[in-house]
Amino acid sequence: MNYSFLANATAVTHALIIIAVFAGLLVSFRYKRFRPLEAGALLLVIVLWSYYGNCPMTVLEQYFRNMAGQHSHLLSTGFLPYYSAKFLNISITSRLVQRSTFFTGGVFFAASLEWLSPFMHFEIFRLRKLFKKRGKRYLTKRA
């Protein structure tokens, strides 16, 4: 079995997934119907990353590289830091990538609760609207 090819295919697939997530962020800002999908994708990344301690695609690529005899420091540095240093000569830390991914995923997940309101009518959304109406009435009476 050609493990080197599998490792390269995994790396290309991983890069395409990262590009798709970034493109999804841009699309979800414009089209609201994609926001829950993007929030779900980012939440899935966070859960898998937390479970495996690293991105599962990075773990898979490292496994294929080890099987092909190409020992690299991919797991210790992370996918984006490793390849940005290798191809672009840009030094970023794995911690920066992880924190920015977790922060972005958390923000999108929290915001997706509001985005789901047309589809799922929680009492939270009705309560929030009620507080807005009462706040406006209170402000107009006091002025």
pLDDT digits (tens, 9 = 90+) for 20-72: 888 887 787 777 777 777 777 777 877 887 887 788 888 889 999 999 888 88
Which two tokens mark 103? Answer: 């922060």
pTM above 0.85, yes or no: no
Q: How many domains is the chain built from?
A: 1
Kindly report the average pLDDT of the chain as a whole number: 78
* Residue 96 predicted with pLDDT over 60: yes
Q: Which own/partner pairs from 67-73 qualify as long-range (CB within 8 Å, at least 24 positions apart)?
A: 67/3, 68/2, 68/3, 68/4, 68/6, 68/7, 70/4, 70/7
Tell me the mean pLDDT in the region 3-18: 91
| Residue-number span of the structural domain to which 126 is assigned | 3-142
Contacts of 85 (CB under 8 A, 6+ apart): 77, 91, 92
